[in-house]
């Protein structure tokens, strides 16, 4: 399989060389695509230097900071066009450890004893998953947010907001990226729900998630609340649509029985 990891960046000059070196060391067979949103700290220039020295590192430069989801859509589309078989995503800050990528790769191929998958999620909240250096408030926010997502959207995935993932190319093609409108962190949940609605096989594997030690986190309480607000509006629309379809089917059945 040809595998590529899409790594979106904004203001990650302190981390980008460090995380790419770890990724290339842990999995020399995996390519990397950095998608930089015109970082003013020079992240994009550092990525270009790394790409010039390593043909398996590639860089896309976006003009503006358009949000996490927009960066991933851009990167995924580029990877699909380039013919990759498996397209992954991970953060640039070290939260997602490249040394654990093999767990996701084994799961997508089914060589870990489980079924092969269309989407694999590196999960913090399945048995064996852990977080390091998180305050209790942030852990409670993440656990509570994911519980809320499960109840509201009627899904079983424990960590729908996680950002360490692998997709098979045919799975992304079925999800029709051009129809995805999510731009922020809600993009992660959106893609999980779309995959489940499309009947794709989604698996979670445990990872150790490590809080960043350098640079500033893009996730704040305000961002998390805004994401949940958008998920609420989206989820309620989904439920209304489900009720409408159920009512239409029931009306049709009643009409047929007359």
Span 103-144, pLDDT tens digits: 999 999 999 999 999 999 999 999 999 999 999 998 998 899
Question: Given this model, what pLDDT does residue 86 score?
Answer: 98
Q: Which pLDDT band, with edges at 50, 70 and 90, does 257 fall under?
A: low
Average pLDDT over residues 91-98: 96
In this prediction, residue 179 carries a pLDDT of 86
Rounded mean pLDDT of the chain? 90
pLDDT of residue 222: 58
Percent of residues, the chain, with pLDDT higher than 70: 88
Q: What percentage of the chain has pLDDT greater than the value 90?
A: 69
What are 60-88's pLDDT values in tens digits? 999 988 788 999 999 999 999 999 999 99
Q: How far, in whole angstroms, is CA 98 from its chain's centroid?
A: 15
Tell me: pLDDT of 220 over 60.
no
Task: State yes or no: pLDDT of 250 exceeds 80.
Answer: no
State the Cα angle at 174 between 170 and 180, rounded to 5°.
125
Give residue 34's pLDDT: 98
pLDDT above 90 (res 211): yes
Q: What is the pLDDT of residues 54-67, one digit of tens each?
A: 999 999 999 988 78
231 or 216: which carries more pLDDT confidence?
231
């Amino acid at each position: 399989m040809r595998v590529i990891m899409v790594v979106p960046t904004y203001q990650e000059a302190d981390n980008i060389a460090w995380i790419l070196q770890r990724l290339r060391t842990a999995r020399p067979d995996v390519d990397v695509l950095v998608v930089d949103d015109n970082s003013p700290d020079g992240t994009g220039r550092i990525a270009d230097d790394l790409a010039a020295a390593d043909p398996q590192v590639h860089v896309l430069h976006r003009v503006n900071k358009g949000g996490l989801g927009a960066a991933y859509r851009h990167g995924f589309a580029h990877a699909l066009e380039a013919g990759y078989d498996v397209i992954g995503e991970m953060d640039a800050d070290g939260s997602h450890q490249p040394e654990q990528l093999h767990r996701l790769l084994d799961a997508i191929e089914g060589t870990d004893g489980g079924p092969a998958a269309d989407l694999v999620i590196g999960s913090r909240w399945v048995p064996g998953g852990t977080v390091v250096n998180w305050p209790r408030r942030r852990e409670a926010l993440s656990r509570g947010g994911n519980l809320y997502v499960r109840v509201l959207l009627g899904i079983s995935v424990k960590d729908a907001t996680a950002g360490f993932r692998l997709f098979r190319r045919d799975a992304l093609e079925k999800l029709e990226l051009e129809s995805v409108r999510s731009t922020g962190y809600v993009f992660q949940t959106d893609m999980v729900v779309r995959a489940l609605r499309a009947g794709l096989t989604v698996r979670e594997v445990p990872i150790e998630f490590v809080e960043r030690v350098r640079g500033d986190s893009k996730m704040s309480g305000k961002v998390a609340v805004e994401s949940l607000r958008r998920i609420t509006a989206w989820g309620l629309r989904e439920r209304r649509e489900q009720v409408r379809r159920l009512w239409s089917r029931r009306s049709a059945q009643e009409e047929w029985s007359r």
